[in-house]
């Protein structure tokens, strides 16, 4: 099944920020260890902070890229947070690309 993962925040779920971030890291690590990988991961809003030089999940995201997952970080979001020059994994995308990838996917899973 062709699915796209949409990550819109640094943490997983609502509630305590630190717990949410730990859950996100755990989710991404578990994903990288599994066999059912998404075709693409789209990072929007605060989720773009996960692909920058300060993010503790960079190694895990690089593992996902090595396994064939394509990562796109929202260019508008990177500009908003002034992070465009700090992207360390994946590519910079745009809303047209996001729209097309989501429309073509069998399923879109949103977390964040």
Tens of pLDDT along 61-102? Answer: 999 999 999 999 999 999 999 999 999 999 999 999 999 999
Residue 14 has a pLDDT of 87
- Measured between alpha carbons, how far is 48 from 36 in angstroms, rounded to an integer? 23
> Above 90 in pLDDT, residue 53?
no
Containing 12, the helix (H) or strand (E) segment is: none
Please check whether residue 50 is in contact with residue 87, taking contact to mean a CB–CB distance below 8 angstroms. Answer: no
Q: What's the pTM?
A: 0.94
Q: Supply the pLDDT for residue 112.
A: 84
Can you give the pLDDT at residue 96? 97
**Domains of the chain, earliest start first:** 3-111 (3.40.1260.10)
pLDDT value for 13? 87
CB 92 within 8 A of CB 73: yes
Question: What is the model's pLDDT at position 31?
Answer: 97
**Which tokens hold the place of 66?**
């090595």
């Amino acid at each position: 099944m062709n699915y796209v993962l949409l990550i819109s925040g640094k943490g997983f779920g609502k509630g305590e920020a630190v717990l949410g971030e730990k859950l996100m890291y755990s989710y991404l690590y578990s994903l990288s260890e599994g066999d059912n990988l998404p075709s693409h991961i789209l990072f929007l809003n605060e989720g773009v902070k996960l692909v920058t030089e300060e993010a503790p999940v960079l190694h895990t995201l690089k593992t996902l890229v090595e396994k064939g997952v394509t990562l796109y970080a929202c260019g508008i979001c990177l500009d908003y947070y002034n992070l465009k020059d700090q992207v360390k994994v994946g590519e910079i995308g745009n809303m047209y690309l996001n729209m097309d990838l989501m429309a073509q996917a069998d399923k879109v899973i949103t977390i964040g």
